[in-house]
Amino acid sequence: MYIKSKPGFVFLAFPILYTIYSIFSKQYSTAISSAISALCIAVFIFINKKFLLFKKGTYYAIITFILLSAFAGRTLGFYSSIPFWDKLLHFLSGFVAVPAGRQLYTRLKGNSKNIFLINFFSFCFALSTACLWEIFEFTSDKLFGTFAQNASLSDTMWDMIACTASTIVAAFLPFLFSKKHKI
């Protein structure tokens, strides 16, 4: 079932309330970071509502991922206070992006019997999102002086390796155990 209801808006409460709190506390950079998190969630909810792209579980996984990365990671400072937070999120990203890729493929192409093709598309989709994220981090570091990549090629490569590992598991493990696959 593709989600049509409004429960995703509950997820907006955290960053919106924190934005308001940060403004009143005169923590303006935190307020901006929190507002950006809320904006990301709101844009995702709007796009999903308009095009009905994702099923309920994937919808909530994506919103939760945005909260964990943009809000908890950046706004609440988990990236700097929890050493493995960045790698954990990059590893989890494959488990979020692969189902999203499967559902996008199904929405674009309809039901397909070729499980290998669906999983290959999902695999490529997940790795592409990881690549685009690293480009975003690089751009942010260069334009705004952030330290998303910890000024290190090694950080970027470990991020990509973490995502690739989970993407392989999420995309191809179901294929290996499926009795219906066709090549």
Among residues 38, 64, 81, which one ends one of the domains?
81
Q: Do 135 and 158 have their domain in common?
A: yes
- Indicate the range of 44-53, 147-156, 158-167 predicted with least confidence: 147-156
Q: Do 92 and 34 have their domain in common?
A: no
Residue 28 has pLDDT above 80, yes or no: yes
Measured distance CA(108)–CA(91) in Å, rounded: 27
Mean of pLDDT over the chain? 88
User: Residues 17-37: what's their mean pLDDT?
Assistant: 93
Residue 5 has pLDDT above 60, yes or no: no
Q: Do 144 and 87 have their domain in common?
A: yes
pLDDT tens digits for 82-117?
999 999 999 999 999 999 999 999 988 877 778 888
Residue 183: predicted pLDDT: 43
Residue 2: predicted pLDDT: 55
Q: Are 75 and 19 in contact (CB under 8 A)?
A: no
What is the token pair recorded at 152? 């290190």
Q: Do 170 and 134 have their domain in common?
A: yes
Q: Are 165 and 94 in contact (CB under 8 A)?
A: yes
What is the token pair recorded at 42? 């709101």
Residue 180: predicted pLDDT: 59
Q: Are 156 and 149 in contact (CB under 8 A)?
A: yes
Q: Do 41 and 25 have their domain in common?
A: yes
pTM for the predicted model, two decimal places = 0.87
Residue 153 has pLDDT above 70, yes or no: yes
Q: Do 100 and 75 have their domain in common?
A: no
Domain that holds residue 23: 1-81
Measured distance CA(66)–CA(79) in Å, rounded: 14
Among residues 81, 107, 138, which one ends one of the domains?
81
Q: Do 23 and 100 have their domain in common?
A: no
Residue 182: predicted pLDDT: 47
User: Residues 145-149: what's their mean pLDDT?
Assistant: 75
pLDDT category of residue 126 using cuts at 50, 70 and 90: very high
User: Residues 121-148: what's their mean pLDDT?
Assistant: 87
Among residues 55, 81, 107, which one ends one of the domains?
81
Q: Do 39 and 109 have their domain in common?
A: no
